[in-house]
Structure 1
Amino acid sequence: MRRNVGVVARIETGVAPEASDERHAIALPGMPNLHSHAFQRAMAGLTERRGTGEDSFWSWRDLMYRFNARIGLEELWAIAAMAYMEMLEAGFTRVGEFHYLHNAPDGRAYDNPAEMVGAIGSAAIETGIGLTLLPVFYAHSGFGGAPPTEGQKRFVSTLDSYARLIEACHPYIDEIPGARLGVAPHSLRAVTEEELSVLSALAGDRPIHIHIAEQVREVEDCLAFTRQRPVEWLLDHCDVGPNWCLVHATHMTEDETARLTRSGAVAGLCPITEANLGDGLFPAAEYAGRWGIGSDSNVCISVAEELRVLEYGQRLSRRARNVLAKPGQSTGARLYTDAAAGGAQALGYRAGLFESGPADIVSLNADHAALAGKSGNEILDSLVFAATGSLIDRVWRYGRLQVQDGRHIMRDRILPKYVRALETLRA
């Protein structure tokens, strides 16, 4: 392998190793994480006590609104750095940050509209993770342009303020090798049709991500207002193509599933979060299009577990095994390669290692008990289904070593700051 500023130029075989070369038995392309709300990492484990009524996504959302009200610039940096460090340790080498914590705790706009973006960008630089920044446009609390609620005041933008935000993001993006800037209308309930049209034009050929059809109530509200289901409405009213990522898309009809496949867009699946929030199961067995995985609420950051939960959900609902593999195909290999390709498409970059692109490489510990006697696709099957702990040994991002012996090289610096941030937020 020959690298030029962190980029794979070509792969050579049968070449004698040089003295400075590193040698590893198992290498995989780094996995893209196409959907993250970094600040929610600090909530992990704090929302698992049942309330007096029925717990749901909507009751969890109320807790999230109260939690984010106290997060300042330093806290956001510490939480994001912790999340990104853990992503790299898990084998994620690039993150799509669906960032909507724009305003001050009292709802006022910062003098610099990208003030909080600075914390996200700095955390990405500190940890070395690749970044596709997806600033969120959030203007309404429900369909029909309903005014935002008190809990949403840190998220809210107008089209004019959002345009200024996008412009102010460029200096931060320019500091990160290979970073991309996209556009993210939060959801159909948070934007009007006219606003979505403007945002789509603003995105051009850049990545454009949107939450959609995550919850049954969202589908019912969309039907009541538009007489169409969310994915159906979006495909009818927007030029949805390969630069789009429809995050969740959990509740689709057979026709919507087929149309999403034909659009060339990516379905952004977050199986751990979708299970944690009780969202439902994506129709993965029926879907023939591109898809990728995201850690979303970051309640548990794990490449293997995202893929495992995705497949196991299909197995439980169908009472069958190896649902997402074709006859004779390795399920682990199918899941890993499809998620890597779809995630790269959604985040707007070319994956590397086995073709030209960023040298984002994950090596596995070949001496791990879970890999004993394994070869070929059995390695990926074991990674996804058979390992009780992480198999990851080292991780390189853009050719630079970020994880060694399963541990991020900056862990001792980042962890104490994260602990202090939590102490401040819970004081």
Structure 2
Amino acid sequence: MKRVVITGQGTINPLGRSVAETTEAMREGRCGIGALEFRDVERLAIRIGGQVKGYDPEAEFNRQQIALYDRFTQFTLLAAREAISQSGLSFGGELAARSGVVLGTSGGGLQTSDENYRSVYEEGKNRVHPFVVPKLMNNAAASHVSMAFNLKGPSFTVATACASSNHAMGQAFNLIRCGMATVMVTGGSESMLCFGGVKAWEGLRVMSRDACRPFSANRNGMVQGEGAGVFVFEEYEHARARGAEILAEVIGFAMTSDAADIVMPSKQGAARAIRGAVEDARVPLEAVGYINAHGTGTAANDKTECAAVADVFGAHADSLMISSTKSMHGHLIGGTGAVELLACIMALRDGVIAPTIGYEEADPECALDVVPNEAREAKVDVVLSNAFAFGGLNAVLALRAA
């Protein structure tokens, strides 16, 4: 089994337009959640979100590209550009043939769907743009990344709701580990912050009207966000041979299904995924120092996740740090695990643990060290990133310091 390392990372999200901006915001405990700005927002009950404000597609792409790229694809390409630039890789010949793309998204081109449903049903138009289908399809971002960077190996998209990014990165990890690929561009993106996207989530009655407060006793729901996180996963010997800077090593991955309920999480399913990732990493439970939690700010998720962590780690759970950066950037749905992996890499490389902001009141059912409100300096060698999706689909990644 080959070793897998991370040699590039990129992002655009409510906290920043780059990794440097994002990690600085995480260190400062800055909140990227605010009032939503789009057409008909006044018709919504939920009017806050982690929106990428002031974003101008025309500053990044030409008119022809914008006709092909939904907002989620644009975000992906920008994040991929940063990640691949940092890696120092260029793809040609045999390397291009052995390099691919696995990305996660839940809604795909939801902005495009929303605009065109409005055009047909509200405005009564009988024609839509001929590229609507290739613009809204879930694999659009993966396909455009492969074309933009000449990646000719295994490429596909994973859609498992809130676990999409973690599932995608887990597949990329396994493709390199088993020898099917040398380099994989991986991560995820989402852009559901449009009228139809938010209206659909309103129906679930799990949304907060004011803030995301994971693990706090007075939490009142989740807050949606948007953005992308993209990474370059590379086979260790290949990276070492070219003298690449290694950001972290991916050492374990596990995925489970609750097989229980379409929306209510299961402690057992989450615990099996957490335990499985640690076992796959072949490290003792005591080696894990930090967990980036799924931590949505809903009572069901937070209590279940804390119970699962306590169940797996036993007495060591009291020594663990566990935080939810969704308190800062919101829940990026299919892109959330990718943006949250930035916090995991920051913990390993910089010794800075991102905080859970908005924490106001202790909850006895979430009695773990949730790094409340302020970032913390701490040396950790192994971290986990949790993702637990609607549909009962769980995915956990384990990383180690390089």
- Interval containing the TM-score (normalised by the shorter chain): 0.3 to 0.5
Indicate the structure (1 or 2) with the bigger Cα radius of gyration: 1
TM-score normalized with structure 1 length: 0.32
